[in-house]
Amino acid sequence: MGWLWIALLACAVLVLIGAEWPRLAGPLGAQSRKKRERAKRKSQFKLLKNETEEFAASVERDLSQLPTIEERDRK
């Protein structure tokens, strides 16, 4: 009768793991690992704030080089 109790205990453990799997998969799963890796990469980024004038000048320069449509070209 000993093997029957071992089998029932094993089944109970499997049911418990199956019931708790969604809760355990969150912090231990692959998606959580990807989130941690992304957060680690993002923490290494640096925000550059003092190049706004240079950026604005480059945007104006790019906009001035774009082709435009004149009124006579529409007809």
Q: Where along the chain do its domains lie?
A: 2-65
Comparison of pLDDT for 38 and 28, the residue scoring more = 38
pTM: 0.39
| Residue found by looking up tokens 């071992």 in the block | 6
Confidence of residue 29 (pLDDT cuts 50, 70, 90): confident
- List pLDDT tens digits, range 44-64: 887 766 677 788 888 999 999
Which pLDDT score is estimated for 16?
A: 93
What is the C-alpha separation between 60 and 29, in angstroms, rounded?
47
User: What's the confidence (pLDDT) of residue 53?
Assistant: 79
Q: What is the mean pLDDT of residues 16-42?
A: 83
